[in-house]
Structure 1
């Protein structure tokens, strides 16, 4: 089996890989994303706190890829990247909120 295209910071867990590989069209779309684009989807999926939400986000990722999206809809962006500082909105909403 070929190496699975990963993100810049996040790596796809087995459940994500299986779901995306299951549909050749979706897998091709996934492979066509930039590493940063894949990273955004993986961060969004990994951020889910409940298994049910994680499954829903995996399915939504497949749908959004088929809709031609390059990043997850309504996601502020990965806060785990070390190549750039989080934006003000990310800091206020995603980082500071988690410290509470």
Structure 2
């Protein structure tokens, strides 16, 4: 059965995030009910860490938190890519 995982507004959803979401039909439903900016915050929160081990922890937490009904990552300053002044840090 084909399930669609909706994207964010700035970030593309990576294969590993998409695959993690697709493991649970309820998670897919809750993910797709998030607004595009909320999905973008989750994607950025997973993509932002430099260490792969931290990224994997974020993917696991994303799954649990969204299933619990959380809309955005806790303790996250928000996606820094929204601000054009931050562009110099991401080139």
Match of 2:49 in 1: 48
Task: Give 2:76's aligned residue.
Answer: 75
Deviation at 1:30, TM superposition (A): 0.4
**Structure 2: distance between partners of 1:51 and 1:18:** 16
Inter-partner Cα distance in structure 2 for 1:79 and 1:6 = 18
Deviation at 1:23, TM superposition (A): 0.7
**Which runs of at least 4 in structure 1 moved beyond 4 Å after TM superposition?**
none
- Structure 2, gaps ≥5 residues long: none
Task: Give the distance between the partners of 2:12 and 2:34, measured in 1 at CA.
Answer: 14
**Aligned position for 1:23:** 24
Q: Do the aligned partners of residues 51 and 8 (structure 1) sit closer, same or farther apart at CA in structure 2, a change above 3 Å counting? A: same
**Aligned residue number for residue 33 of structure 1:** 34
Report how many aligned residue pairs link the two structures. 86
Cα distance in 1 between the residues matched to 2:70 and 2:4:
23
Change (3 A) 1:2 1:22: closer
Cα RMSD after superposing both structures = 1.7
Q: Rg larger in 1 or in 2?
A: 1
